[in-house]
Amino acid sequence: MYKEEYERWLGFDLQDPDLKPELLKIKDNDEEIKERFAVSLSFGTAGLRGTLGAGTNRMNIWVVRQATQGMANWVKTQGGTQTVAIAYDSRLKSDTFAKEAAGVLAANGISVRIYDALMPVPALSFATRYYKCTAGIMVTASHNPSKYNGYKAYGPDGCQMTDEAAAVVYDEIQKTDILTGAKTMSFAEGVEKGMIHFVGDDCKKAFYEAIEACQVRPGLCKTAGLKLVYSPLNGTGLVPVTKVLGDMGIDDITIVPEQEYPSGYFTTCPYPNPEIFEALEYGLKLAKETGADLMLATDPDADRVGIAMKCPDGSYELVSGNEMGALLLDYICAGRIEKGTMPQKPVAVMSIVSTPLADAIAEHYGVELRHVLTGFKWIGDQIARLEADGEEDRFIFGFEESYGYLGGTYCRDKDAVIGSMLICEMAAYYRSIGSSIKQRLEEIYSEYGRYLNKVDSFEFPGLSGMDKMAGIMSSLRENPPKDFAGIAVTEVIDYTKPEETGLPKANVLIYRLEDGSTAIVRPSGTEPKIKTYFTTKGADIAEAQAKKDTLAEAVKPILS
């Protein structure tokens, strides 16, 4: 079957000049043909994501057209404005895929609002809400290596698509022949016919104003003298991040030159993820040379932000997503109480795999901290619930351990632009009172205890990878571990049982241990890997690390 599909592609006008040579190159390699055509890229709540190339199991214009026809069929059943917002990042072919999607929507009689230049995820979420769109599309593969691209689908609320909507779109995709099934129209024709419009300056201005309205201590940065090194990692962050920081009064910004401008090749960081050291190496070198207070990096679609903070001895230390979530929660609470802007019955939200240190901080400030499934749409869902009750002002902050933060209700996905703004404002504030982020973090640990949160990943590549992952998760449920390294398991929380957790069904297992540690096992929703999240607590970092190492060694054989 896959060989027949390969032959069909080979004899078709594929329109993209990169595709036919790739197919000819593999004509005698059954394994390569099978890898491209035996399955199709699956469409879920995170949309599509895959390697660029030819075939049903690759990201290309045909897969994008097919997916967009499925989206169009769903949009046409939804009523509303029958409009879809589109944005795209700096990845290879992102602009092409965005225009292809716009053409399919236009051919289906659906209006399009597309950005005229690359913009980040939060700008797409904002535009979807601003124009009261029926849906949104973001062309990106987030922080994956350069050979990947993807397609995130959004609902009318600006959150990533719900499970129910994604299932309908997936069914519609299945009914659409990949090469002949999608209605198409050129981008130029869509513009001429008035079906495709660019996002207006009014929307862009409103986006920046909404972010800047979330400052905790407005005006503080103008006199704080913060010195910053920033890297957009060749992605979408350069314009929005520097615009917002400049408006706040932070003008001493040194941009990492090799990573300044958009490029889908990511030659300086093969894995452009601000969670990992390799992506920050150029920025750290520049921070040391310039003596910056802070080194900041945003990922290609600018929904995640990572930092390195300056320590008293002049060295730089990376701050984890959990630590930054705790720091920002603490800063926002203290600052809003001081300024008299804390709402009645404030609400913060974090994912179930994030640090319990945040629970202790929230309790200290009298903030209700809600726990949701992994995926920022669940944080967006909590904002929507508050909004439905006319109480969206109660929301003060949301975060997940994978470096995603949101400090307002103007969009419903994680936002590295507001994350950058709040981090820089926090750094400027501590600098202005003779302190630092590092010093405040140590104070938090001395007050609440030395928490350590670490994530390990186990990769399962190839066509059999997903089956192996499913087998491991089944085995853990059928034969639940009684202990890890001799430390008894006191409670197992299985998120496939919503009647017990009170949350929607999810493939997550949490093990609470006798010594107060937790171990969480969760397959990634976007990559062929199982992630393990460990939380340990000790009198000092060495004790917490030793506990984590012991747990990790005990878990390794189960997942290998």
Per-residue pLDDT, 429: 97
The percentage of residues in the chain with a pLDDT greater than 70, rounded to a whole number, is 100
Query: Which residues are paired to 309 by β-bridges?
Result: 294, 317
Task: Indicate if the alpha-carbon torsion angle 104, 107, 111, 116 is positive or negative.
Answer: positive
Q: What is the pTM of this model?
A: 0.95
What string of DSSP letters covers 400-420?
A: ETTTEEE-SSS-SS--HHHHH
Q: What is the pLDDT of residues 291-338, one digit of tens each?
A: 999 999 999 999 999 999 999 999 999 999 999 999 999 999 999 999
- Whether residue 395 contacts residue 349, with contact meaning beta carbons closer than 8 Å, is answered with yes
Confidence of residue 501 (pLDDT cuts 50, 70, 90): very high
Q: Are 351 and 533 in contact (CB under 8 A)?
A: no
Q: What is the pLDDT of residues 120-143, one digit of tens each?
A: 999 999 999 999 999 999 999 999
Q: What is the mean pLDDT of residues 66-82?
A: 97
- Mean pLDDT, residues 474-500: 95
Reduced to 3 states, what is the DSSP secondary structure of residue 112?
Answer: strand
> Residue range 12-37: average pLDDT?
96
SS3 call for 383: helix
Residue 305: alpha-carbon gap to chain centroid: 10
Average per-residue pLDDT for the chain: 96
Residue with tokens 């909590």: 382
pLDDT surpasses 80 at 526? no
β-bridge mates for residue 316, sequence order: 310
pLDDT digits (tens, 9 = 90+) for 405-464: 999 999 999 999 999 999 999 999 999 999 999 999 999 999 999 999 999 999 998 778
What pLDDT, on a 0 to 100 scale, did the predictor assign at position 461? 87
d(CA 363, CA 13) in angstroms, rounded, equals 62
Question: What are the DSSP calls for 307-375, one per residue?
Answer: EEEEPTTS-EEEE-HHHHHHHHHHHHHHHHHHHT-PPSS-EEEEETTS-THHHHHHHHHT-EEEEE-SS
pLDDT of residue 92: 98
Active site residues: 142
The CA distance from 122 to 506, in Å, is 25
Please choose, from the candidates 120, 144, 131, the residue with its C-alpha nearest in 3D space to the C-alpha of residue 48: 144
- pLDDT-derived band at 41, boundaries 50, 70, 90: very high
pLDDT confidence tier of residue 527, bands split at 50, 70 and 90: confident
Phi/psi of residue 89, nearest 5 degrees: -105, -160
| pLDDT score at 556 | 93
Structure-token pair, residue 224: 């704080």
Cβ proximity of 369 and 362 under 8 Å: yes
Structure token digits, residue 427? 């750094």
Residue 477 C-beta-side C-alpha neighbours within 13 Å? 15
**Backbone phi, psi, residue 451, to 5°:** -90, 145
Using N-to-C axis directions, what is the helix angle for 416-432 and 121-130, rounded to 10°?
110
pLDDT given at position 45? 79
Q: Which pLDDT score, from 0 to 100, does residue 465 have?
A: 86
Residue pair 56/5 in contact by the 8 Å Cβ criterion = yes
pLDDT in tens, 251-277: 999 999 999 999 999 999 989 999 999
Question: Facing residues of 450 across strands?
Answer: 538
Backbone angles phi, psi at 310, to 5 degrees: -80, 135
- The single-letter DSSP state of residue 87 is E
pLDDT tens digits, residue range 373-389? 999 999 999 999 999 99
Q: How far apart are CA 297 and CA 324, in angstroms?
A: 13
Burial 3-18 (b: 16+ CB within 10 A, else e): eebbeebeeeebeeee
| pLDDT value of residue 560 | 80
Nearest-angstrom CA–CA distance, 371 and 349: 6
